[in-house]
Amino acid sequence: MKRSGPFLLLVPLLFVVAFVMTILLLLQPPPTGACGVAGEPIGPATGNLGGVSGTGITAAELATVRSSPLARNNSFTEGVFHSTAYGPPWGVDPQSGVDQGAGIATAAGLRLNGGAPRKYFVATDPAVISSGQWLYIWPNPFQWRGAFLAADTGSAINGRDIDFYDWRGRSFQLAWSKPVTVSRAPMSGLGPGPADMQPGAFAPPLATTPTAPPAAAATGPVLNLGDSLAVGSGPELERKLTGRTVTTLAARDRTSAQGLSILRGVSTVPSTIVVQLGTNDSDVSAFRANVRSIVAVARLASAKVWWVNISRPVLNGTSASELNAVLTAEAARQDNLQIIDWKAAVAAATVQLSDGVHPTAAGYEKRATLIADALAGADSTLGACASAAPGSLGELAGSPEQIVNGVVEYAHANGFPNVTVESVRVANAAHSVQTTSGNTSDHKGPPDFAWAADISNGNAPTPQMDALAATIAGAFSIPWQGSGLVSAGNAEYRLQLIYRTCGGGDHWNHIHFGVKKVFFLIIRRTGSSTPRPC
Ligand SMILES: [Zn+2]
C-alpha cells in the first residue's frame, strides 16, 4: 500500500496520543461500575499468590480477621478515597523516625511475624470500611484487578483513607500517594479477577458474636455482691461452692450505684465476683454506666464478673428486659463479664417468686445452683486478664474503652472523685470530633476502636494530676518526663498521654489518656510544654 508523507508522520503521533491516554487511564480513578476500557486487562496481571483466590490470604486468615471486633460493624463505603502505602522494613525508619511497629500482626489479627509476605490487604478506618470486607481499588500500586482485604487500621488512617500494605519496601511505599476509587463489586473494564474472587463466594459469614469469653478460675475466693437476692442466696451459695471462701456483701434495696461504691472499697478483690444487682435500679443509662464501672474495677483486679440477670415487675417505668438488654450488650463486648440467666429460669417456671421478685426457699436453692453451675463451668484461666498483676494498671488487652475505664476507676479512687466511667462517656459525647491536627479524636470512639478520658481536679495542674500522669506512664511504659504529648504503645494499641502542655490543643490543666487500636504506631514525643496556661 502506498502511503503519503503526512500519514506516515501521523503514525508516531497516534502512538504518543495512545500512550498518553493509557497513562491517563491508569492514573485516573475510574467511575464506579463504568470504567472506560472493556475486555482487555489493564496493566500486567499479577501472578497467582495462592491463598484465597490469589490474594495470598488463606481462608483461615480470613476467618481470623472476620472474628476481630474491628469486623463487627460490617461498614462499607464506596467512592473516592485518598491512598498511601506502608509496610516493611518494620521498626523505626531511620529516615523519618516513624515507627512502623514490629510487623507481628495487623490490628485485625492477620499474622505477618515480622516478615514481608506477599498479600493483598489494606488498612482502613473501621468506621468507614470494617476489617474483613473485600474491596476493589483502582488504581493500586500492584495493578491488581482482584480484591483487597480490609485487615488493618492505623493511627493516621481516618475517614476516607486507604493504606496499602506493600511488601516491596520503603521506596515503593513512599512513591504511592494518590486518590483511588473503592468499590464493593469488581469494576467493569478491570476484569473480574478469578471467578471465586467474588466476595462471599468462599468466605465464612461475618462473626456476629465475640469469641468465647475467658473464664475465671474455678477455684479461689468468691465475692457475692448484691441486694436482697444476694442475701437470700448467700448461704446456699456457700454450701454449694465447697472449698471456696464466699464473702457476701449484700443488703436489701441495694442499687447498682451502691454496689459499685462498695466494690470500690474492697481492698482485695477476688478473681471471681458474683453480682446480684439491678432489681432496685430504674435508670437504664445509670445502670449501664455502673455495669461498666463494676466490670472496670474487676478488670483492674484481673477479676471476672458473673452477673445474675433480672426478673421483676416494672419499676418506675423501667422493665427488667431493658436492664437485661444492657447486661447482654455489655457481656458481648467485655470479656470479663458473663451473664447467668435467672430471667429464663423464672420464665420457664422452674422457680416460683413469692412476691414477683423474691423466690421461695426452693427458688433460692435453684438460684444458688444456677450460679454454682456457671462458676463450676469456668476454665482455670482468665485469658488475657491473667497476665496483669492483681490491682495493677497497665494491662493492654480488650477494647480501648476497657483499658481507659481501668484508668478512670483508678483515678476515681485516687484523688478524682468526680471522674467516673459515666462522666467520661457524657464528656466524650459532647467532645469535638476532630483534633487540632485534623484527625478524629479518640474521644469519639467507637469504644471498641478508640476511647479517651480527660481527667482533672483543678483549673491548674495539681499534685494529684502530676502523680496520676506519672502512675499511668509507669503502668503502661509511656516515656514521660512530667509534661508534654507522648504517644507510645505496642503493635496493637496506640496510647497517648497529654498533660501540662499546649501541644495538640490546650492540655494544661487536665490529663488526656487515649487508647486506639492500631497496627503500626507513630511514636511522637513533643516536649514543648510551656510553663504557662495556654
Ligand atoms: Zn482529651
User: Which tens digit of pLDDT belongs to each residue from 83-128?
Assistant: 999 998 888 777 777 777 778 889 899 988 888 888 999 999 999 9
> How far is Cα 445 from Cα 158, in angstroms, rounded to an integer?
12
Per-residue pLDDT for 142 more than 80? yes
Confidence of residue 519 (pLDDT cuts 50, 70, 90): low
How remote is the CA of residue 512 from the centroid of ligand 1, in Å?
Answer: 4
How remote is the CA of residue 527 from the centroid of ligand 1, in Å?
Answer: 18
How remote is the CA of residue 422 from the centroid of ligand 1, in Å?
Answer: 15
Q: Residue 27 falls within a domain, yes or no? A: no
Is residue 81 within 8 A of residue 161, CB to CB? The reply is yes
Q: Residue 210 falls within a domain, yes or no? A: no
How remote is the CA of residue 525 from the centroid of ligand 1, in Å?
Answer: 17
Are 279 and 162 in a shared domain? no
Amino acid symbol at 228: S
How remote is the CA of residue 22 from the centroid of ligand 1, in Å?
Answer: 48
Amino acid symbol at 431: H
Are 143 and 251 in a shared domain? no
Tell whether the torsion through CA atoms of 395, 398, 404 and 405 is positive or negative. negative
Q: Residue 103 falls within a domain, yes or no? A: yes
Are 86 and 125 in a shared domain? yes
| DSSP label of 160 | S
Please name the helix (run of DSSP H) or strand (run of DSSP E) that holds residue 60, with its range, or none: helix 59-66
Is residue 106 within 8 A of residue 123, CB to CB? The reply is yes
Confidence at residue 530, expressed as pLDDT on a 0 to 100 scale: 53
pLDDT tens digits, 382-396: 333 333 333 357 777
| DSSP label of 78 | -
Is residue 310 within 8 A of residue 280, CB to CB? The reply is no
| Beta-bridge partner residues of 184 | none
Are 59 and 188 in a shared domain? yes
| DSSP label of 113 | T
Tell whether the torsion through CA atoms of 433, 436, 438 and 439 is positive or negative. negative
Are 351 and 453 in a shared domain? no
CATH of the domain at 103: 2.40.40
Q: Cell 506519672 sits at which residue?
A: 470
Confidence of residue 3 (pLDDT cuts 50, 70, 90): very low
Q: Exposed e or buried b for every residue in 305-321, given b needs 16+ CB within 10 A?
A: bbbbbbbbeeeeeeebe
Say which residues have a Cβ less than 8 Å from residue 45's Cβ, sequence separation at least 6: 145
Confidence of residue 313 (pLDDT cuts 50, 70, 90): very high
How remote is the CA of residue 149 from the centroid of ligand 1, in Å?
Answer: 32
Q: What is the mean pLDDT of the chain?
A: 79
Coil vs helix vs strand at 340: strand
> How far is Cα 93 from Cα 103, in angstroms, rounded to an integer?
13
Per-residue pLDDT for 308 more than 70? yes
Q: Residue 7 falls within a domain, yes or no? A: no
CA of 40: how far to CAs of 44, 141, 146, 450, in Å? 11, 19, 15, 44
Amino acid symbol at 389: A
How remote is the CA of residue 504 from the centroid of ligand 1, in Å?
Answer: 9
Confidence at residue 218, expressed as pLDDT on a 0 to 100 scale: 67
Give me the domain span that covers residue 354: 222-387
Percent of the chain with pLDDT over 70: 79
Are 142 and 266 in a shared domain? no
Q: Distance of alpha carbon 493 from its chain centroid, rounded? A: 9
Per-residue pLDDT for 484 more than 70? yes
How remote is the CA of residue 452 from the centroid of ligand 1, in Å?
Answer: 6
Are 383 and 421 in a shared domain? no
pLDDT tens digits, 171-188: 888 888 888 889 888 776
How remote is the CA of residue 101 from the centroid of ligand 1, in Å?
Answer: 24
Tell whether the torsion through CA atoms of 32, 179, 514 and 396 is positive or negative. positive
Is residue 54 within 8 A of residue 131, CB to CB? The reply is no
Q: Residue 266 falls within a domain, yes or no? A: yes
How remote is the CA of residue 286 from the centroid of ligand 1, in Å?
Answer: 23
Percent of the chain with pLDDT over 90: 37
Is residue 65 within 8 A of residue 149, CB to CB? The reply is yes
pLDDT tens digits, 323-374: 999 999 988 878 789 999 999 989 888 888 888 899 988 899 999 999 999 9
Average pLDDT over residues 237-247: 91
How remote is the CA of residue 481 from the centroid of ligand 1, in Å?
Answer: 19
How remote is the CA of residue 508 from the centroid of ligand 1, in Å?
Answer: 11
> How far is Cα 391 from Cα 104, in angstroms, rounded to an integer?
29
Environment class of residue 523 by beta-carbon count within 10 Å: exposed (0-12), middle (13-18) or buried (19+)?
middle
How remote is the CA of residue 161 from the centroid of ligand 1, in Å?
Answer: 23
Are 408 and 380 in a shared domain? no
How remote is the CA of residue 82 from the centroid of ligand 1, in Å?
Answer: 27
Confidence at residue 532, expressed as pLDDT on a 0 to 100 scale: 58
How remote is the CA of residue 320 from the centroid of ligand 1, in Å?
Answer: 35
How remote is the CA of residue 326 from the centroid of ligand 1, in Å?
Answer: 27
Is residue 130 within 8 A of residue 73, CB to CB? The reply is yes
Are 455 and 358 in a shared domain? no
How remote is the CA of residue 70 from the centroid of ligand 1, in Å?
Answer: 23
- Nearest by Cα to 292 from 419, 402, 397: 402
How remote is the CA of residue 510 from the centroid of ligand 1, in Å?
Answer: 8
Domain boundary pick from 358, 387, 416: 387
- Strand runs labelled E in 346-483: 450-455
